[in-house]
Structure formats: structure tokens, C-alpha cells
Amino acid sequence: MVSGLFIGILFGGLLQSGQFCFVSGFRNILYQRNTRFLTALLIAVTIQSVGFFALESAGLLHIPEGNLPITATLAGGLLFGAGMVLAGCCGSGAWFRSGEGLTGTWIALFAFVVTMAAAQKGSLKHWFEPLLQHPAQPDTIYKTLDISPWFLVAFLIILTAGLLIYQHYHPRYTPPSQGRFNYLPLNITGLLIGILGIIAWVFSAEAGRNFGYGVAVPSGNVIQYLITGQQRYFNWGTLFVIGIFAGSMISAIIRKEFRLTLPPDGITVVKRLAGGIVMGAGATLAGGCTVTNSLVATAYFSWQGWISTFMIMAGVWITSYFFRAGQCRL
């Protein structure tokens, strides 16, 4: 189980050193016509997809099967995207930005984890359950189409290669030099996150948790464990999210980027608080955050993963028209 902590530390370090930010990455697709983050994300997804299905073919991994609560997925994705802009971070971003010392993100993180805990086991559960009880099925694209998943893996490889070629011949943005420590190139960050994602699933499964990276539910479990002390909430995923915070802080200190920063005004505090609550509600309905859906579930071609990702993007785009999230360094 302790492997969750070490993998979380590595994941947090990669997020911080590569500034792997879903908020600015999704926003820039529309408002800057910039596909740098999308390309890096697809690199991570593609690598995991190849690894997941190769390990499943070898009998070393089991791809989960689930249902698709379509209304909840659509609404949850849209809410989560809106919450990301208000909070200035996503679920994983809340942990790694907190590790950089951004106290406004601490507020968003607190609101997010409390909302997740209340929606899973607490006073908000009865509000969400009705929307989650009318699923369509099945929840994998290749089973719906009755084809081998390797056809979709091949398509994903071609799509990612196409974006890499386009990015090479149409460079739109060069990250600024940071002196002694340059930021890790975004595509390299995606590559390493993808490889680590395969390793994460293997070790997570050995600990009795059949999934890879996950942030939303484990975040709620942190609060559940602190309040109830029940050992079932202290698991691989719980240690993983704590590791994200620790890994980001270590990276930020090494890079001399750790500094306690207060929110500039009261409006920002309210936005961060509201964003965390909205993200928690959205993640509950959509079956997870950007890490669970956009990074992992897309890799095994879950309908919920892909649909919620597009809805999260839509939520980010719509809300960014009215508010600008400004915590990303790149």
C-alpha cells in the first residue's frame, strides 16, 4: 500500500515540474488555438492504453466494467469544468498547487474534499444518488461497437502522432527559460505520466484497488479517515493523493518556487471556495475528476471517461468567457 505514497510523490513532482495544468490546457485549446497540452495529454493516454491492454492480454490486469449514468455524466462534467475555472485548478491541481504554497488553492482543496466526502457518505449523498441510478450500458466504447480494443488503440496512436507532427511544423509557444531549472517539456511530462500510470495500476491492483491514478474519491477518503478513523478509508488512493502534495512541495522547494501566497482579495477567496464545492459536486456525478476520466478512463475507452472529458472542456470554455483562472505558470 505504501507504493501509493511513492507513486503519488513522483506524480506530484511531474505535475509541478512540468506545470501539467488541465485548466489552462483545456482553456487554451479554444481561446489560443493551442494544442500543446492536448498533445501531451494524448501522449499520456496513448501510452497507458497500450500498456493497459497489453497487460490485460497477458492476464496481468483487469479492465473494469461499469455502467454509464448519462445525465449525471453530462451534468457532472459541465459542473466540474466550471468549478475548475472558479477554483483555478482541477482535483489533482488542487493538491499540487497546494504543495507550491498557494493558500487560495488550500481553500479550494478543502471545499473539494469536504464536498466529496459529504456526497459519498454524508449529508449530500441522497441528493446525488437518484441521478446515478439510471445508467445505460455498457461503459466501454469497444464493447458497444463490438470490436477489438486494439482498433481504438491504433486510432489513438495515429491521432497522437498527427498532433505531434502538427505541433512540430506549427510551433505556437515556447516556454520561457527559468534559469537554473527549466520546466520539464510538456510532451516529456506526458510521456513520463503515461509510463507511471501503467506502473500505478499494477501496484494499486496488488493493494486490492483495481484502478490507476485517482484523485476525487481518494480525496474524500482523506476527510473520512480523519473524521471517523476507519481503516477502510486509509488505502492506496489516500496515500497517493497525499503523495501528490508532498511530491509537488519537494519539487517546488528544489526549484525555489515554493512560497506561501495569499489570495489577492476576498472575491478570489469566494471563487476558490465556490469552485471547490462545484468541482466536488461535478466529480461525484461524473464518476471522477480530470485524472480519473480524462487521463485514465479515456485510456481504456470508457464512454464515461470520454463524454465527461468533452463536457469538462465545455465547462471550462463557457466559464472562462466570464472568469479567467490565472494560477498556471506557463
pLDDT in tens, 265-304: 999 999 999 999 999 999 999 999 999 999 999 999 999 9
Lowest mean pLDDT among 69-78, 126-135, 221-230: 126-135
Mean pLDDT of the residues in the chain? 92
Q: What is the DSSP letter of 292?
A: I
pLDDT tier at 330, thresholds 50, 70, 90: very low
What is the H or E stretch that residue 287 is in? Answer: none
Asked, for residue 167, whether it belongs to a domain, the answer is yes
| Residue of 214, 198, 177, 243 whose CA lies nearest to 5 | 243
Shortest CA distance to 290 belongs to which of 271, 312, 307? 312
What pLDDT shows up at residue 175?
57
Can you give the pLDDT at residue 54?
A: 97
Residue 210 neighbours by CB distance under 10 Å: 12
Asked whether residue 261 is domain-assigned, the answer is yes
pLDDT of the residue at 67: 78
The three cell numbers locating residue 4? 501509493
**What separation in angstroms does the CA of 11 have from each of 116, 155, 160, 226?**
22, 27, 22, 23
Decide if 212 contacts 200 (C-beta within 8 A).
Answer: yes
Number of folded domains that form the chain: 1
* Predicted structure pTM score: 0.93
Identify whether 328 is part of a domain.
no
User: Across the strands, what pairs with 68?
Assistant: 136
Q: Is 131 or 187 the better-scoring residue by pLDDT?
A: 187
**Across 61-65, 190-194, 306-310, least confident range:** 61-65
Query: Which pLDDT score, from 0 to 100, does residue 326 have?
Result: 54
Cβ–Cβ < 8 Å for 131, 287: no
- Residues 6 or more apart whose CB falls under 8 angstroms from that of 243 comprise 4, 5, 6, 7, 8, 9, 10, 11, 12
Q: Which CA distances in Å does 327 have to 104, 221, 309?
A: 10, 26, 21
Structure confidence at residue 167 as a pLDDT band (50, 70, 90):
confident
Cell reading at 186: 510538456
Domain span at residue 159 reads 3-61+77-172+184-320
Is 71 contained in some domain?
Answer: no
In a domain, 229, yes or no: yes
| Phi (first) and psi of residue 140, to 5 degrees | -130, 135
Residues for the chain: how many in total? 330
Percent of the chain with pLDDT over 70: 94
Instruction: Give every CB contact of residue 327 below 8 A, 6+ residues apart in sequence.
Output: 21, 23, 88, 89, 93, 97, 102, 104, 105
DSSP 98: H
Q: How far is CA 93 from CA 128, 170, 215, in A?
A: 24, 28, 10
By C-alpha distance, which of 231, 246, 297 is closest to 73? 297
Residue 125: what pLDDT? 87
For the segment 128-138, what is each residue's pLDDT rounded down to a tens digit?
888 887 666 77
Look at residue 327 and tell me whether its pLDDT is greater than 90.
no
Cell reading at 247: 511530491
Beta bridge partners of 102: 261
Determine the pLDDT at residue 176.
53
Has residue 183 got a pLDDT over 90? no
CB 200, CB 213: distance < 8 Å: yes
Asked if pLDDT for residue 7 goes beyond 90, the answer is: yes
Mean pLDDT across 53-82: 92
Average pLDDT (5-25) is 96
18 assigned to some structural domain: yes
Percent helix, strand and coil across the chain, each rounded to 5?
Answer: 70, 0, 30
Q: What is the pLDDT of residue 317?
A: 97
Whether 241 is covered by a domain: the verdict is yes
Cα end-to-end span (Å), the chain: 34
- Measured distance CA(326)–CA(256) in Å, rounded: 20
Q: Is the pLDDT of residue 180 over 60?
A: no
Whether residue 107 is contained in a domain is answered as yes
- pLDDT for 236: 96
